[in-house]
Copies of this chain bind each other. A is one copy, B any other.
Amino acid sequence: MTTTLSMLETHPRRADVDRTRLAAAIDSLNACAETCTACADACLSEDAVAELTRCIALNLNCADICLATARMLSRHAGEDGAISRSMLEACATVCRACAEECARHAERQQHCRVCAEACRSCERVCRDLVVALR
């Protein structure tokens, strides 16, 4: 059991969705944020950096948006379905764009391969949660 699930289980309010599922979504968003931060820096350190600038900027946007989404999902005191759904949709949009860009470099840059998988998985998590929150 991750700390994320422990925190949901000791929270005085019940979340709008199943706790195990919500904890998994938060963990996926935080892992994607960390992976994108690391991928931006790895791209920056490659000799081929000039070909990776769009990838770096998308990584930075994806990291910031995943993080803001994870924090929002961790806050139940101000829970609001409309905010959650619109942020999850924005997050799915940036995750898809980042996954596609990283996939273009995945053969030569191993970190982009790992990052593309993290973004694709996170996009799926966001889209599934939008449905569950309806």
With the chains together, A85 CA to B71 CA distance in Å?
Answer: 21
Contact of A53 among B45, B87, B109 (CB under 8 A): B45
Count A-side interface residues using an 8 Å CB cutoff: 66
- Name A14-48 residues within 8 Å CB distance of B: 26, 30-31, 34-35, 37-42, 44-47
Which residues on B sit within 8 Å (CB–CB) of A54?
A: 77-78
Count identical subunits in the complex.
4
Q: Which of B13, B68, B118 is in CB contact (< 8 Å) with A45?
A: B13
**CB within 8 Å of B: which residues of A?**
2-4, 6-8, 10-13, 26, 30-31, 34-35, 37-42, 44-47, 49-50, 53-58, 60-61, 64-65, 67-68, 70-72, 74-80, 82-83, 86-87, 89-90, 93-94, 97, 101, 109-111, 113-115, 118
A-B contact pairs, 29 of them (CB 8 A): A7-B34, A7-B39, A7-B115, A8-B38, A10-B109, A10-B111, A11-B45, A11-B111, A12-B42, A34-B70, A40-B60, A41-B57, A41-B75, A41-B76, A45-B77, A49-B49, A53-B77, A53-B78, A60-B60, A61-B78, A61-B83, A65-B72, A65-B87, A67-B68, A83-B90, A83-B93, A86-B86, A87-B90, A89-B90
By Cβ-Cβ distance, the 3 closest A-B pairs, closest first, are A57-B78, A57-B77, A7-B38
